[in-house]
Amino acid sequence: MPSVSPNKPYRVGRSRTGLGLFATKPIKKGTKIIRYFGPILDSKKKEEDEIENKYLFELNNRWTIDGSVRENIARYINHACRPNAESDVKPRKRKVFIRAIRNIEPGDEINYDYGTDYFKAYLKPIGCKCDACEKKRKKKRAEARAERVRLKEKAERKAQKQAEKLAMEKAKAKEKAKKKAAKAATKANGKLNGKHLNGHSLPKVLGKKAPAAKRGSARALHA
Ligand SMILES: [Zn+2]
C-alpha cells in the first residue's frame, strides 16, 4: 500500500472496492485536499490520444491528465454518487484539485463524483459500489424481502380462508343431507301413519288396493 506523509490529512487504505483514500484528520468543507496530477496528454497528438486507462482526467476537448502514475495519490480516491469532495478543474492552468464539499471526519473515505461519462463506461456495467448506491440496493433488497413476506402471508391467509370456506361448505352439505334424511324419514313415517290413520291399514305387500267403489264415489262427488 502506498505510504503517505503523516503531515497529510489522508492515507491510502482498504475500501469496499479495493483501495481508497481516507481522512486521518478533520478536513473542513472547502479545503483543497490533494492535487490530481500526471502527464498532460494532447488529443491532437495521435500517440497521446490513443492512451487509454481508468485514470484519465479530461480537462477539456484538447487536454487530458493521465493520472495513472504512482505518485498521483489522488488516483486512489473512489467515486461516490453522494461525495464529500469534488474535483476542482482549472483548465487554463491544466490543474485539478480535489476539494472538500463537506466537513470530513478522520476515518471517512474521501470521494468525489467521477462524472457521467466515467459512470456509464466503468461503474454502471458492474454496479456502483458507493455508499449511496449500496444503501439504495440494501433498501431495495429489504423492500423485496418485505414484499415476499407480505405475499407469502397473503397466500397463507387465502389458503386459510379457502380451507375455512371448504369446511363450512362441507358442514352445510352434511347438515343439508341430515335434514334431507330427516325429511325423508318423516315422509316415510307419515305414509305409514297415514295408512294407519285413514283406515286402509292393510300392508301394501298384500297387493290390496283401496275399494274401487269408494274411489269411484269420490270421483263422482267431484264430477
Ligand atoms: Zn453510486
- pLDDT, tens only, 127-150: 999 999 999 999 999 999 999 999
For residue 129, how far is its CA from the centre of ligand 1 (angstroms)? 6
Tell me, what amino acid is at 117? D
Give the torsion through C-alpha atoms of 130, 135, 137, 138, to 10 deg.
140
Ligand 1 center to 130 CA (angstroms) = 4
* Residue spans per domain, the chain: 10-126, 130-178
> Residue 219 pLDDT more than 60?
no
Model pLDDT for residues 55-85, shown as the tens digit of each residue: 999 999 999 999 999 999 999 999 999 999 9
pLDDT of residue 187: 84
What would the pLDDT profile of 151-192 be if each residue is shown by its tens digit? 999 999 999 999 999 999 999 999 999 999 999 888 888 766
Cα of 22 to ligand 1 centre, how many Å?
A: 18
Give SS3 for 78: strand
d(CA 169, CA 163): 10
Tell me the pTM.
0.68
**Is pLDDT of 223 > 50?**
no
- The sign one gets for the Cα dihedral 160, 162, 167, 171 is positive
At residue 78, the pLDDT reads 95
For residues 195 and 188, the answer to whether their CB atoms sit within 8 Å is: no
Q: Compute, in angstroms, the gap from residue 27 CA to the centroid of ligand 1.
A: 22
Instruction: Tell how strand 85-90 and strand 95-100 pair up.
Output: antiparallel
Please check whether residue 77 is in contact with residue 111, taking contact to mean a CB–CB distance below 8 angstroms: yes
pLDDT at 23 over 50: yes
- Taking the C-alpha atoms of residue 114 and residue 120, their distance in angstroms, rounded to an integer, is 10
* Cell output for 113: 463524483
**How many Cβ atoms from other residues are within 10 Å of residue 190's Cβ?**
11
pLDDT of residue 37: 96
**Alpha helices, DSSP H, located in the chain:** 46-49, 116-118, 131-197, 212-222
* Residue 208: per-residue pLDDT: 53
Mean pLDDT, the chain, integer: 88
Q: In what order do the strands lie in the sheet with 56-58?
A: 40-42, 63-66, 56-58
Distance, CA 156 to ligand 1 centroid (Å)? 38
β-bridge mates for residue 13, sequence order: 20
> 88 near 98, Cβ under 8 Å?
yes
| Cα(35) to centroid(ligand 1), Å | 23
Ligand 1 centre to CA of 136 (Å) is 9
Question: What number does CATH give the domain 10-126?
Answer: 2.170.270.10
Phi-psi region of 115 (alpha: psi -120 to 50; beta: other; left: phi over 0): left
Distance 67 CA to ligand 1 centre (A): 21
CA of 119 to the centre of ligand 1 (A): 9
Between 15 and 220, the more confident residue is 15
